[in-house]
Structure 1
Amino acid sequence: MSASMESILDTDSEDEMAPGWEERVTVEGKVYYANHETKVTQWTHPSTGKKKTVKGELPYGWERCFGDDGTVFYVDHINKKTTYTDPRLAFAEEVKSSIMDFRQKFDGSSTALQILHGRDMGTKYVLVTGANSGIGLETARSLALHGATVIMACRNLNAARECRAAIVKEMPKAKVEVMHLDLASLRSVREFAETYKNTGWPLHILILNAAVFGVPWQETEDGLELTFQVNHLAHFYLTLLLQPVLVKSAPARVVVVSSESHRFSGLTKETVNLESLSPPASKYSDIRAYNHSKLCNVLFANMLCTKLGTQRVTVLSLHPGNMMSSSLARHWWLYRLLFTLVRPFTKSMQQGAATTVYCAVAKELEGVGGLYFNSCCRCEASPKAHDPDLAETLWQFSVKLLQSKVGEIST
């Protein structure tokens, strides 16, 4: 093979290197730098001093080959090209200096599939609530396309089965299961958890995605206001029931999809009660109910992290995106109109699912829970969300309320 082979890929480095330097990668994925003038190599970037690695397998259609002299080169069978440059360099990542180094690799324009690039999720079991539409569907689809066994936990089984069929059509080997879960029924939550346990499956990632928004006042079969039960209490109950499976499957993660709306909740320790969280129709506001429920999500995630962190269960919460064109706005024509008007300026469903997927799979987050993310980047939640007394008060209130509805539960 002649030395004149054309290199067809550029690296993703944003740091300019002086003339004569070249970025390369070992077979094991360690990035190094070669100086053609001085004939020296080094592991750190010649200008920034940073180190990088690449992960995952070669992109589809590529093959790593070895010359007679041991030289490594890469063949792109699809485009009939050959290069000395490892194509994975396009996705090189900086080596973190510490476990709390959260330099941003992805942002609001990233997609779930980009985050999963090169990842083999074949050994993971992932449960996604509300996976038959919107962000939940894109989350389930993206993980299934990368080998995970995905359980779509949905109230609408017909819609869920249609979504499963679409995923399997896209990738026939995809492993997707559909199970019934109605978060407006605590009985359904208990039956779902019992059914899941009876399968004998592990549970590596629990994604609490389902939510309602802007619904008129409704009372569930358990005598509670719908938004509070679906968005918080039922997910709280589900997690407690599946906690033994999560711990047994550890390392595991719980990913709680919240919202920036949590910042607008006026909930306090004194107002953690039924009148505020599950008000009667005469005192109900759909926006206030939603804001309260989203603050409950972050408080729950933070408290769960303190309880399960030592058992290798990482718990994270997140905001997926603002006013995306999902089914959340379906309950009132004005919300539908508003969401439609802002659609050109908001994230796609793939972009909306990115932060959820990042929290579910990012290796740098292993064992570092109790964090809140927006656009794939760690950010500070509201001061109320960081209040340990408020989190403890909500936890105890939720436990007692569940006990009054379903009997004794294990916490």
Structure 2
Amino acid sequence: MMSLPDSDSEDELPPGWEERATDDGVVCYVNQQSKTSQWTHPRTGRSKRITGELPLGWEKYYDEQSKRFMFHNKETKQRTNIDPRLAFAVEEPTLNVAQVRQRFDSCSTALQVLHGKDLHGRVALITGANCGIGYETARSLALHGCEIILACRNLASAAEAIERIALERPAARARCRSFALDLGSLRNVQKFVEQIKQSFSHIDYLILNAGVFALPHTKTVDGLETTFQVSHLSHFYLTLQLEALFDHRTRIVVLSSESHRFANLPVENLTLQHLSPPAEKYWSMMAYNNAKLCNVLFAQELAQRWRQRGISVFSLHPGNMVSTQLSRNYWFYRLLFAIVRPFTKSLQQAAATSIYCATANELTGLSGLYFNNCYFCEPSKLSKCAALQQQLWALSERLILELMEPTTI
């Protein structure tokens, strides 16, 4: 590890580093040379937080032109994007997941999680945002001022979703935009990414919500089993292609399921046949379980790879057999979901954990956690296997390189 130059004060930043404060008061340290960021001081290894009210004469406001929060000194007329309290930030204990207090549970709704939050200036990209849990996630964020990118295969359905949101909050219509995204085609994902990069400079919340369930054995245009590609591989590709729009303010939320505990992927010698089996070895429920395990494995490995950039990555279980369109592909599951509907979460409750992972202040600086009912819990032993995480990453990367030649990942 490179040693830092001597300084009269251990709290003094090394050359090329600067302090920034997030909207929720946590201090981030940015290395301008390497373009990396972290939540701990590069010398002391400790974290800081801004506390207290703004100094006398200062006010905070959201600037529509620059799309950021600004600070204005009414006496000196000074305007800056640097929080004047930054110079008085105080050290806080080292981030420890065990110290995070549980504030919500299985009965909490997305709007309860967001109570009192102002998300103006934040941008959320949500896959499958036109219906079900994705729609409730988009709606809840939009009602609190967030700009929403609805990434959907059906643009007509996405337009209807935006209109439903606008009926509740007319101002939200201007903050919601839909883009066509077909997760069954890597080329379409690439086209979608190009459109997003042309339209946005930063993404605060990437919520990988879309998925399929109980499909008969079908293949995508790329020749892969549909459940695997839609639920994992295309989201993997999407995330890596959008990397330039992420920084320390970004949170990536991957919707998995408790079904990941019943997957049967091997710890050693993972192959494409395990992930995208032929018709004679295919069972829709196991395909779903394995895809949900891939979601957790991906989130865990991504958290490790991007930890030094300050990007938080979480995976979660939204709820058991929630009444969404997920079960639409097979009559038996439609019937089963209808029978258990009175005993399962509402869509608002099911969206709560996604919202919590994306916006909760107490999760700043944490990463790689798995959540259920708005609180972290232990994922399966298999999902924590580092060797399997790395095998899935390498296999996913190789698949994309082969399918997208000569395009690079």
Give the counterpart letter for 1:323 in structure 2: M
Contact 1:125 1:201 in 2 (8 A): no
Residue 191 of structure 1 is matched in structure 2 by 191
Q: What count of residue pairs does the alignment treat as equivalent?
A: 318
Which amino acid in structure 2 is aligned with residue 105 of structure 1? R
Which residue in 1 is equivalent to 2:363? 365
Aligned-partner residue type, residue 249 of structure 2:
P
Q: Is the 8 A contact 2:204 2:251 kept in 1?
A: yes
2:397 maps to 1:399: yes
Number of the residue aligned with 1:63: none
Q: Deviations over 1:192-242 (max 9, x none)?
A: 001100113311110000000001111100000000000000000000100
Aligned to 1:223: 223
Out of 346, 349, 365, the residue aligned to residue 348 of structure 1 is 346
TM-score, L = length of structure 1: 0.75
Match of 2:276 in 1: 278
Gaps in structure 1 of 5+ consecutive residues: 1-52, 56-94
Quote the offset at 1:103 in angstroms: 2.1
Work out the CA distance in 2 between the residues paired with 1:122 and 1:54: 22
Distance in 2 between residues matched to 1:282 and 1:271, nearest whole Å: 21
Q: Which residue of 1 aligns with 2:7?
A: none
Q: Give the Cα separation in 1 of the matches to 2:260 and 2:100.
A: 23
Deviation digits for residues 266-302 of structure 1 (CA, Å, limit 9, x no counterpart):
1123352121111111111100100000000000001
**Alpha-carbon distance in 2 for matches of 1:292, 1:54:** 47
Give the letter for the 1:258 counterpart. Answer: S
C-alpha distance in 2 between matches for 1:115 and 1:356: 10
CA distance in 1, matches of 2:153, 2:221: 15
Q: How far 1:409 moved relative to its partner?
A: 6.3
% same residue? 51
Check whether the contact 2:211–2:230 (CA below 8 A) recurs between aligned residues.
Answer: yes
Question: Matched residues in 2 for 1:183 and 1:379: separation?
Answer: 29
Match in the other structure for 1:267: 265
Indicate how the Cα distance of structure 1 residues 111 and 339 shifts in structure 2: closer, same or farther if over 3 A, else same: same
Paired letter, 1:360: A
Measured in 1, the distance between the counterparts of 2:178 and 2:387 equals 38
Give the direction of change, closer, same or farther, for the CA distance of 1:409–1:264 in structure 2 (3 Å limit).
Answer: farther
2:282, 2:164 → 1: CA distance? Answer: 39
CA contact (8 A) 1:240 1:410 kept: no
- List alignment gaps of at least 5 residues for structure 2: 1-50, 54-91
Alignment-derived partner of residue 239 in structure 2 = 239
Q: Equivalences for 1:35-46 in 2 at 5 Å? A: none
Give the corresponding residue for 1:288: 286
AA at the equivalent of 1:373: F
Distance 1:408 1:304, change over 3 A: farther
Q: Secondary structure at the match of 1:407?
A: coil
Residues 310 and 106 (structure 1), Cα distance of their counterparts in 2 relative to 1, 3 Å cut: same
Match of 2:373 in 1: 375
Paired residue for 1:387, among 380, 385, 388?
385
CA distance in 2, matches of 1:338, 1:97: 46
Aligned to 1:147: 145
Alpha-carbon separation, structure 2, partners of 1:222 and 1:150: 29
Which amino acid in structure 2 is aligned with residue 202 of structure 1? H
CA distance in structure 2 between the aligned counterparts of 1:314 and 1:410, rounded to whole angstroms: 25
Contact residue 202 and residue 246 of structure 2 kept, 8 A: yes
Q: How many angstroms apart in 1 are the aligned matches of 2:286 and 2:299? A: 20
Give the 3 Å change call, closer, same or farther, for CA 96–355 of structure 1 in structure 2.
Answer: farther
Please show how residues 99-248 of structure 1 align to structure 2 within 5 Å.
99-100=96-97, 101-174=99-172, 175-247=175-247
RMSD: 1.8
Match of 1:314 among 308, 312, 334: 312
Distance 1:118 1:173 in 2: 18
- How far apart, CA to CA, are the structure 2 residues paired with 1:256 and 1:409? 25
2:125 is paired with a residue whose SS is strand
CA change 1:358–1:148 in 2 (3 A) is same
| Whole-angstrom CA distance in 2 between matches of 1:172 and 1:124 | 18
- Against the structure 1 CA distance between its residues 173 and 392, is the aligned structure 2 distance closer, same or farther, given a 3 Å change threshold? same
Displacement after TM superposition at 1:410 (Å): 5.9
Aligned counterparts of 2:93 and 2:281: Cα–Cα separation in 1: 50
Kept in 2, the 8 Å contact 1:102–1:377? The answer is no
- Whether the 8 Å contact between 2:272 and 2:395 is mirrored in structure 1 is no
Structure 1 outlier segments of 4+, above 3 Å: 95-99, 408-411
Q: Give the secondary-structure state (helix, strand or coil) at the position aligned to 2:370.
A: strand
Aligned residues of 1:99 and 1:364 also touching (Cα < 8 A): no
User: Which residue of structure 1 aligns with residue 324 of structure 2?
Assistant: 326
Between the aligned partners of 1:54 and 1:383, the Cα distance in structure 2 is 42
